[in-house]
Amino acid sequence: MVARIASFALLVWAIAMPASAADYPDHAIKMIVPFAAGGGTDVLARIIAQNLNNKWGQPVVVENQPGASGAIGTRAVMKAQPDGYTLLMASTGALMAVSGSIDTDGPFDVNKVLSPIVVAAAPPYLLVVSPTLPANSVADLIRYAKQKPEGLTFGSAGVGAASHLSGLLFASNTGIKMLHVPYKGTGPAVTDLLGGRIDVMFAPGPVVQQFVQSGQLKALGVTDTIRSKFYPDIPPVSEAVTGYESVGWFGLLAPPHTPREIVKQINEVIVAAMQTQEFRDHLATLGAEPKPQTPEEFGRYINADVAKWSKLVKDNNVQLPGGK
């Protein structure tokens, strides 16, 4: 009798399971990148898309929907059908851009507005300065900044971007004065840093590494709490600023209420791909190593990250773009 009940329950579950989960995927998948083509999020999206295509034989089309620091593309996925055929390749900045404008009675919970799948990478940034600045270490930079009544200027890829938040955290933790100069992307900010029009930047390593090697920029610190194998000679900022850590994650998410079976399936494909040398080589070009997590772990990671940066933004009266 018990066996019959169990068999009946299993049959009911199989019938009730959405066809999209049972047959997934049976047609093309759209992966939205909420930033312009060519950036780190876009590059990773195309790596992930190719791995999914190789596994399933279904096209995975990357679509760039930039605007409002990532809020436009992120909201498009939040409103999409939860069938696994619309995905989001997001980052720290994209989630911050929407977090403050979501109606909630408590702390931001990504699981209520999206379905976390997997973190693809969490690379550190490099604290780089103009070679004209009389500072050869983080401690030097802090001392120099405190001697300047007007403080320093630091550039970023835009308000709310990881490069902005990294600088804001540095200023907050050290008590130095730093004027934020937002740009429309990392490239223009680096150009002005090279030209001496701004003093400091927290930049993606691969973008500025060539300028560091040529002596056009000085790298004073890495924003992770440990040395990066990609920049072994650059000490962590935390050696001079206790507790400092700023890592910009990139990850894959789906619309809210996407079937758990689909989320798990995509997660397993990407985690398996992370074990291949080809995938590791791709991540190395971004100065990152694979950091496989379950969907549940990724969700907790995002919530902790948003809580950290939201407090910093609130404490410093920063108005993020991407409102309702």
Please name which of 205, 207, 244 lies closest in space to residue 228, comparing C-alpha atoms.
Answer: 205
For residues 122-138, give the mean pLDDT.
Answer: 94
Is residue 160 very low, low, confident or very high in pLDDT (cuts 50, 70, 90)? confident
Q: Tell me: pLDDT of 199 over 70.
A: yes
pLDDT in tens, 228-283: 989 999 999 999 999 999 988 899 999 999 999 999 999 999 999 999 999 999 88
Q: Which residues pair with 250 in a beta bridge?
A: 91, 121
Residue % of the chain over a pLDDT of 90: 66
Return residue ranges of the chain for CATH 3.40.190.150.
29-123+248-315
**Per-residue pLDDT, 2:** 43
pLDDT in tens, 51-70: 999 999 999 999 999 888 78
Cβ neighbour number for residue 57 with a 10 Å cutoff = 8
Predicted local confidence at residue 239, as pLDDT: 97
The H or E element containing residue 299 is helix 295-315
pLDDT tens, position by position, 304-314: 999 999 999 99
Look at residues 124, 165, 129, 161 and name the one whose alpha carbon lies nearest to residue 287: 124
Higher pLDDT, 35 or 84: 84
Task: Give 3-state DSSP helix, strand, coil % of the chain, rounded to 5.
Answer: 45, 15, 35
Asked if 315 and 154 count as a contact pair (C-beta separation under 8 A), the reply is: no
pLDDT, average across residues 130-145: 95
Q: Maximum CA pair distance of the chain?
A: 82
Overall fold of domain 125-239: D-Maltodextrin-Binding Protein; domain 2 (3.40.190)
Angle between helices 295-315 and 92-99 (to 10 degrees): 60
With 0-12 / 13-18 / 19 or more C-beta atoms within 10 angstroms meaning exposed / middle / buried, residue 300 is middle
In the chain, which ranges are E strands? 29-33, 60-64, 86-91, 115-121, 125-129, 152-156, 178-182, 200-204, 218-222, 250-254
Total-model pTM: 0.83
Residue from 196, 199, 229 nearest 135 by CA? 199
Whether the pLDDT of residue 149 is over 50: the answer is: yes
* Residue-level pLDDT at 68: 83
Q: Is the pLDDT of residue 13 over 70?
A: no
What topology does CATH give the domain 29-123+248-315?
Answer: D-Maltodextrin-Binding Protein; domain 2 (3.40.190)
Nearest by Cα to 193 from 157, 161, 146: 157
Every domain range in the chain assigned CATH 3.40.190.10:
125-239
User: Given this model, what pLDDT does residue 6 score?
Assistant: 46
